[in-house]
Structure 1
Amino acid sequence: MIAEASLTVILLLFAGAGVVICGCGIMMTGIADKIADRTGLGEAIVGAVILGAATSLSGTVVSVTAALDGRASLAFSNSIGGIAAQTAFLALADLVHRRANLEHAAAEVTNIIQGVILLGLLMLPFAALTTPEWTILAIHPVSFLIPAVYVMGLFVSRTTREQPMWKPVRTRETRADTPDDEDEGSARKSTPRLFGEFGALMLGMGVAGWVIAQTGSELTDRLGFSASLVGALMTAVVTSLPELVTTLAAVRRGALQLAVGGIIGGNTFDTLFLSAADAAYRDGSLYHAAAMSDYFWIVAAALMTVVLLAGLIVREKDGPAGIGVESVLILGLYAAAAGLQILVF
């Protein structure tokens, strides 16, 4: 049906799906914050696991749908391009938090551990690329390794939170992860009901993700854009909008660990797109079918993550334009990567 629609209708469907994703993301943030308080898991863990995974659902649908259609480059670049875009969103959130540099105020060792795990996961596709194209049922062994490392990382993160070997220095600007007082309406809702509402919003995002995948594929064919460009700068950005919305909303609520954890956790979860897409891609290894322009975004995402980790460790209180130097560098790296994608690739 979408293939028979006019270009105008396709663009409207693409934009409409993006609006649905944003709306669901806004409502998810408040629910996730309440779940963090009620379960005692903390904002960083809930942001990394529950909120990060949920807001990444639409992107997962895009990558899997593209892989099923044999579009390896679109599936790959959508996953990695989303990681780069979401890291840039965290720098934008730093502009909203005016009291101090966001990476200084949101001191949390769990987020640093998640960032280290993310860097390791980003190296695994390169490991697949530089080894023979071995597959098991048309699935590369790295696709089995990625989720195993991800799950191991969750256990390490939880252990680090419960039994930290070091703690960040508390300053006047540091925002501690403490439970908030619930309003009367929220207090009447049971925890299972909160999870149910969260699940319903996830379903809406999944449907919107499918629409994004179909319209993105049509735009690739009709406008003659490269799959890498559409995946990294169009579908990835649109499906990453929940991370931008939820991060800005979390910062305004004062849930700073939730904001940072949601981005880093969402980025870590996004690497699972590759495993799912490789399983859906039936023409061999997705990692060998992807183009060098797709792997370029792994380099960009890894560099941006290194800068973010440095900011979380150094914890500069302020910097140019009222934000940290790392936020300026992250935005500069993303702008440079996007410019190279458009002009060179």
Structure 2
Amino acid sequence: MTQMPDISTAGLAVVFLIAALFVWLAGTRLALVGDEIAERFNLAKDFVGLIFLATVTSLPEIVTTVTAARVDNAHLVLGNLFGGITMQTAILAVADIFLVRYALTSWPRKPTYALLAVMLIALLSMLLCTTFLGDVEVLYGIGLGAILLSAGFPLVILLQRTFDQKESWAPVDLPDEEERAQTLRSRLRSPEVSSTRRLLTEATAYSGVIIAGGTALALSADLLAARTTLGASFIGVTLLAAATSLPELSTTLAAARIGAYTMAISNILGSNLIMLALLLPADIAYRQGPILNEATEGAQLSISAGILVTAIYAAGILIRRTPRYLGAGLDSWLVLFVYGASIVALYHLA
């Protein structure tokens, strides 16, 4: 990624921040558009979060992954993907602390979210084993592990939709979702009802902004990594993963503010599943062999942290009566602790 060689380090930082701002604003609006789409077409909000929001907010990861892989920067690719899993899960903790009166994991009515988390843990465990044992090249430098892990996303979605017909759980301390949703919409949107065409136009426009911003984030982060002593792996896990997670952060916080907690949770879990699905296009774009064979100790640490934070929230969803401390569930505080500890460990490895 050498398209901006004449820009100074300060200029790169400005480009990075401007792109991040546009991605943030577009992501915030997407949550509101997604909520209206769910109501307009009578769709479950968890389904909208899992498919629509998770896919659109993952556009920066898609852009940065393919762009970095095409220039053979495997460490930046893997750092961004694997570091983003832990970071995006920590976004739920942020929403729990600032925007949810009850423990976030007490909201789900069905065990579907626990199933999603367990399947994500299984796929991450397979991924970790592959990085230790090494991927097997199948064709044109593409690894078998990348193919199988990418195929896990549609299989998990199919399993989730099948299991979704099971009997509901009884919610615990359920907040008044509709009252909070109407309050926020009255502040953030005009009173008239948007037409279906306008909703789809807005969704397309915001998606385009995220694609453009994600491209700028990838280019500037790659050059910033080249100009520092921290290296592409650490930059990918921290700086780039944080920037490309801005759509997930903005949409998740916006969804929590309107009381659409299930949409917020499914958005993050779905985005993490898409991270694994991106291994195949990354492997195709990377021409030096199976990309998972380039995984460093930092990438393996990020995968382990992703397994741990996902397991914490899976337990919280199953328990449901998670105790709250200082405005958030205990599980959210544990997730933030694991995320912070992983960043410190990654810094020492770098």
**Scaled by the length of structure 2, what TM-score is found?**
0.91
Q: Count matched residues.
A: 343
Deviates more, 1:138-147 or 1:103-112: 103-112
1:325 matches 2:316:
no
Relative to 1, partners in 2 of residues 1:101 and 1:289: Cα closer, same or farther, differing over 3 Å?
same
Contact 1:175 1:256 (8 Å CA) reproduced: no
CA deviations on 1:149-169 (whole Å, 9 max, x unpaired) are 2111112222222x11x4222
CA deviations on 1:164-189 (whole Å, 9 max, x unpaired) are 1x4222234256799x7787967643
Relative to 1, partners in 2 of residues 1:110 and 1:200: Cα closer, same or farther, differing over 3 Å?
farther
SS in 1 for 2:278: helix
Contact 1:138 1:283 (8 Å CA) reproduced: yes
Distance 1:132 1:250 in 2: 38
Deviates more, 1:120-129 or 1:321-330: 120-129
- Residue number in structure 2 paired with 1:51: 53
- Residue number in structure 2 paired with 1:39: 41
Relative to 1, partners in 2 of residues 1:190 and 1:113: Cα closer, same or farther, differing over 3 Å?
farther
1:143 matches 2:172:
no
Distance 1:6 1:295 in 2: 33
Distance 1:243 1:294 in 2: 21
C-alpha displacement of 1:120: 2.4
Write the letter of the residue equivalent to 1:231: G
Deviating above 4 A after TM superposition, structure 1's stretches of 4 or more consecutive aligned residues are 174-178, 180-188
Given candidates 211, 233, 238, the residue that maps to 1:233 is 238
Distance 1:285 1:321 in 2: 45
Distance 2:82 2:207 in 1: 21
Contact 1:107 1:168 (8 Å CA) reproduced: yes
Relative to 1, partners in 2 of residues 1:141 and 1:193: Cα closer, same or farther, differing over 3 Å?
farther
1:157 matches 2:160:
yes
- Residue number in structure 1 paired with 2:120: 118
C-alpha displacement of 1:106: 3.8
Distance 2:194 2:99 in 1: 30
Distance 1:14 1:185 in 2: 31
- Residue number in structure 2 paired with 1:18: 20
Deviates more, 1:140-149 or 1:237-246: 140-149
Taking the TM superposition and a 5 Å limit, the aligned residue runs for 1:139-288 are 139-161=142-164, 163-164=165-166, 166-173=167-174, 188-288=193-293
- Residue number in structure 2 paired with 1:78: 80
Q: Report the RMSD for the aligned CA atoms in angstroms.
A: 2.2
Distance 1:239 1:18 in 2: 8
C-alpha displacement of 1:103: 1.0
Given candidates 332, 336, 347, the residue that maps to 1:342 is 347
Q: Which runs of 5+ in 2 are unaligned?
A: none
Contact 2:152 2:277 (8 Å CA) reproduced: no
Relative to 1, partners in 2 of residues 1:327 and 1:134: Cα closer, same or farther, differing over 3 Å?
same
C-alpha displacement of 1:88: 0.7
Contact 1:22 1:245 (8 Å CA) reproduced: yes
Contact 1:100 1:317 (8 Å CA) reproduced: no
Deviates more, 1:254-263 or 1:181-190: 181-190
Q: Identity of paired residues, percent?
A: 29
Contact 2:151 2:277 (8 Å CA) reproduced: no
Contact 2:136 2:144 (8 Å CA) reproduced: no
Distance 1:132 1:58 in 2: 26
Write the letter of the residue equivalent to 1:283: Q
- Residue number in structure 2 paired with 1:133: 136
- Residue number in structure 1 paired with 2:10: 8
Relative to 1, partners in 2 of residues 1:221 and 1:141: Cα closer, same or farther, differing over 3 Å?
same
C-alpha displacement of 1:290: 2.1
CA deviations on 1:102-150 (whole Å, 9 max, x unpaired) are 1112444332222122122223323433155323121112222223221
CA deviations on 1:238-290 (whole Å, 9 max, x unpaired) are 11011111111111111111111111111111212222211110100000022
1:292 matches 2:292:
no
SS in 2 for 1:169: coil
Q: Which runs of 5+ in 1 are unaligned?
A: none
Contact 2:108 2:171 (8 Å CA) reproduced: no
SS in 2 for 1:135: strand
CA deviations on 1:50-83 (whole Å, 9 max, x unpaired) are 1011111111111111111111011011011111
- Residue number in structure 2 paired with 1:302: 307
**Scaled by the length of structure 1, what TM-score is found?**
0.93
Distance 1:252 1:144 in 2: 37
